[in-house]
C-alpha cells in the first residue's frame, strides 16, 4: 500500500514537472512579429501659395522623405526578411511608386534596424489633389502600406515563411511633418492583403 502511494506521488511529480517544462519551452520558443514604424517624415516643397491676379500657382510634384525602423522583439530568434516594400497613399490615390526599402536581409536577436533617407517622388494628378488638400485644410492624411515575408531562425531551426501586410496612417501638417507629440507612424497588421509588383 505504501509503495503504491509513493509510486503515485512520484508519477504526479513527473507529470507536474513535465507540464512546467513544456510551458517554459513554449514561452521561450514563442515568436513575436517585428515592430515597424515610420519616423522623421518630411514632405519637401510643400507649396507656398502665390496669388497673382486672383490665380493660385502650386507645384505639381513633391518628395516624401522618411526613415523606417524595424525592431526584432525576439530574444531567441533571428529574423530573415525576403525584402521590404512600402507604398504611400492619400485617400484612394497612390503617391509615387512602391519603394523597395531593402532587399533580403537578416536581423539579429533583439536588434533594431533603421533605413534612413528613403525617398518617394510624387507627381501628376494625385500630387495635385494631395497639395490642394494641404493648402485648403492645413493638414493631410497619409497612409503607408508595407509588404514583406519573414522567417524565424534559432540555431538550425527555421520556421516556414510568413507574409506580413501592414499599414499605418498619420496626419501631416503644412510644415510637411507628422503632427502630434510622438512624430512617428506605427504600422500594424492589416486584414487586407496586397502586392505592389
Q: How many residues does the chain have?
A: 197
Contacts 24+ apart (CB under 8 A), 174-182: 174/46, 174/134, 174/138, 174/139, 175/46, 176/42, 176/43, 176/44, 176/46, 177/41, 177/42, 177/43, 178/41, 179/139
138: region left, alpha or beta (phi > 0 left; psi from -120 to 50 alpha): left
User: Which three three-digit cell numbers place residue 67?
Assistant: 526613415
Q: How many CB atoms lie within 10 A of CB 134?
A: 20
The answer to whether the CB of 66 falls within 8 A of the CB of 48 is no
Query: Rounded to the nearest 5°, which phi and psi values hold at 172?
Result: -115, 135
Which residue shows C-alpha cell 507536474? Answer: 16
27: region left, alpha or beta (phi > 0 left; psi from -120 to 50 alpha): alpha
User: Which three three-digit cell numbers place residue 26?
Assistant: 513554449
Q: Which residues contact 15 (CB under 8 A, 6 or more apart)?
A: none
**Single pTM value for the model:** 0.79
pLDDT in single tens digits along all 197 residues of the chain:
556 678 888 888 888 888 777 666 655 568 899 999 999 999 887 765 543 334 445 557 889 999 999 999 999 899 999 999 999 999 888 998 888 899 999 999 999 999 999 999 988 888 888 888 888 888 889 999 999 999 999 888 888 999 999 999 999 988 889 988 888 999 999 888 777 65
The pLDDT tens digits for 142-189 are 999 999 999 999 888 888 999 999 999 999 988 889 988 888 999 999
Q: How many CB atoms lie within 10 A of CB 182?
A: 11
Amino acid at each position: 500500500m505504501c509503495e503504491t502511494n509513493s509510486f503515485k506521488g512520484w508519477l504526479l511529480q513527473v507529470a507536474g514537472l513535465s507540464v512546467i517544462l513544456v510551458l517554459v519551452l513554449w514561452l521561450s520558443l514563442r515568436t513575436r512579429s517585428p515592430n515597424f514604424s515610420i519616423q522623421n517624415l518630411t514632405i519637401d516643397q510643400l507649396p507656398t501659395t502665390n496669388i497673382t491676379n486672383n490665380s493660385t500657382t502650386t507645384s505639381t510634384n513633391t518628395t516624401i522623405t522618411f526613415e523606417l525602423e524595424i525592431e526584432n522583439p525576439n530574444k531567441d530568434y533571428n529574423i530573415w526578411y525576403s525584402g521590404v516594400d512600402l507604398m504611400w497613399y492619400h485617400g484612394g490615390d497612390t503617391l509615387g511608386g512602391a519603394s523597395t526599402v531593402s532587399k533580403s536581409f537578416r536581423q539579429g536577436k533583439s536588434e533594431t534596424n533603421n533605413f534612413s533617407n528613403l525617398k518617394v517622388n510624387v507627381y501628376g494628378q494625385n500630387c495635385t489633389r494631395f497639395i490642394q488638400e494641404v493648402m485648403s485644410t492645413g493638414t493631410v492624411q497619409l497612409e503607408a502600406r508595407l509588404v514583406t515575408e519573414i522567417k524565424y531562425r534559432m540555431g538550425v531551426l527555421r520556421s516556414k515563411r510568413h507574409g506580413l501586410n501592414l499599414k499605418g496612417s498619420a496626419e501631416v501638417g503644412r510644415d510637411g511633418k507628422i503632427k502630434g507629440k510622438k512624430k512617428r507612424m506605427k504600422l500594424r497588421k492589416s486584414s487586407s492583403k496586397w502586392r505592389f509588383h
